[in-house]
Each structure stands twice: as structure tokens, then as C-alpha cells.
Amino acid sequence: MSAKGVKSDAQLIEPLSQDNVASSNKIVTCAMCYQSSDHQQSECPYCGTVLHVRKKNSLQNTVALLVTSIVLYVPANIYPIMYTTSIGDEIASTIVGGVITLWEQQFYPIALIIFVASVMVPVAKILALSWLVYSVQSNRIISRKNNQVMFRITEFIGRWSMVDVFAVTILVALIERGNLMKVMPGVALIAFAAMVVTTMLAAFSFESRLIWDNPDKNKGKNTNV
């Protein structure tokens, strides 16, 4: 029941066991201030943050937010994100359309950045979180560590999808209305921004400790790899 020491800048080599997880040690550590207290405490005695041994309804909340983001993904890609008017001609452009235009104008790096941030990242995020929910619920674990890494990346990169939303918002502000040129925002701008926020919230509501919870079916000595 003793706690393991942490090797700094290196991983501990000794095999760890299920005996050393907090739930069997009956302690809970505040995610905000790192104060450890008894697992029956509902509030951190030091900073007042609500304590959860496991976040409540984590999977349900994650799934609900994921479904919302999938629903929002459709209008975000079908409808125009902006309208450009120059000398009477109005051109509507979708997110993917904008990427294609940039590519045709030979701005390859920027086209790639937008494609990755606006198209690939949201899809990858939704797939990754769906896999994590499925993996945890059905106890189908290929590698806990890979799942954890996948979750960390998902948490980190989500914000970057906002690039195109910000770029369009700045464009609208930059180009004065009533001139020969006019840039107007489209419906997809809101749909896309809302989708990024919901995927971020979906990641925040996912309880990563669930990745490590269920004991392996094949009772190996090392349960952590």
C-alpha cells in the first residue's frame, strides 16, 4: 500500500500494481492545488474546489457534447463561412473552398495549416474521443498509455481549430463596408466556432482516470503497459 516515488526526468522501472491506485489508498488529490485529502471529502480543504474521485457522468457528458459537435460540423462545412463582394460580384466561400483558393493562389503552407486546423483536427478529435469513450465503456483496451497520449493531444490541439474563425473575423473587421470591397461573415462561422467550443468541452468532461480503471482481463503482472 505504500506510495511509489517519482523518478524525475525518467520513468520508474519497477512494475506498478493496482494496489497503488488512489481508489484503493482512499485518497483524492485536488486537480487545482494538489492538496491530498480523504476520498470522502467533497470539497478541497485548501482551495475549495469540488473534488471527484471520478468525474460524475463523464461519459454521458462527453457523448452528448460529441454528438452536438458532429451535428454542428455539418452546417460548418456546407454553408459559406464568408462572402466577398467586389464590384457587384458576390463570392461565397466555404471552409474547404477557402483552402482550395489558397492552394490555387500557391499559398501552400497556409493552405495546409488551414486544412489541418479546420478539417483534419476536428475530425481527428471527434474520432479520438469517440474511440476513448468506446474503449473505456467496452473495456477494449489496446494500450492504456496510447489512449492517454491520444487524450492529451486531443486536449491540447483543439483550440487551434479556431484559426480560420479568427482569420475571417479579422478580415471582416479589416475591410470597410460600403467600399468597392466588402467581406461579410457566413453562417458557418458561428457553426464552426460553436463546434470547436463543444469539442473542447467534450475533452474537458472526459475523465481520463477511466482509461486506467478496469483491470486487464488477462491477469498479467504488469497492468500498466
Partner 1 sequence: MSSPTKLACHECDQVVIIPALSDGQKAICPRCGFVFTRYFKKARSRLLAFSSSSLVFLLLSFVFPFLIFTTQGNEKVISLVQGLQSMGSGTYLSVVLFMLATTVLVPVMTLTGINYTLISAKLDKPLPFTRHILKLVFLLQPWNMAEIFLLGILVSMIKIASLGDVQFGWSFYSFVLYIISMAATRVFLDKYQVWQWFRHHDKRAYSYER
24-83 positions binding partner 1, by CB under 8 A: 25, 27-29, 31-38, 45-49
Can you tell me the distance from the alpha carbon of 171 to that of 164, in angstroms, rounded to the nearest whole number?
A: 10
Question: 168 touches which of partner 1, Zn ion, none (CB within 5 to 8 A by kind)?
Answer: partner 1
Give CB contacts under 8 A, 24+ apart, made by 57-61: 58/205, 58/206, 58/207, 58/210, 59/133, 59/136, 59/137, 59/206, 59/207, 59/210, 61/202, 61/205
Which residues on neighbouring strands pair with residue 85, listed in sequence order?
Answer: 90, 182
* Nearest residue (CB) to partner 1, 29 versus 130: 29
Q: Count the Cβ atoms, other than its own, within 10 Å of residue 134.
A: 12
Choices 65-73, 122-130, 133-141, 175-183; region in contact with partner 1 by CB under 8 A: 175-183
Residues in the chain: 225
Q: How far is CA 91 from the centre of its chain?
A: 33
Using CB under 5 A as the binding rule, the residues of this chain from 14 to 33 that contact Zn ion are 30, 32-33
44 is a site residue for Zn ion (CB under 5 A):
yes
Query: Which residue of 173, 178, 218, 219 would you call a contact of partner 1, by CB under 8 A?
Result: 173
* Nearest residue (CB) to partner 1, 126 versus 206: 206
Question: 131 touches which of Zn ion, partner 1, none (CB within 5 to 8 A by kind)?
Answer: none
Which SS3 state, helix, strand or coil, does residue 201 take?
helix
Q: Exposed, middle or buried by CB within 10 Å (0-12, 13-18, 19+), for 64?
A: middle
11 is a site residue for partner 1 (CB under 8 A):
yes
Question: 170 touches which of Zn ion, partner 1, none (CB within 5 to 8 A by kind)?
Answer: partner 1
* Nearest residue (CB) to partner 1, 109 versus 138: 109
* Nearest residue (CB) to Zn ion, 28 versus 191: 28
Give min distance, CB of 86 to partner 1, in A.
8
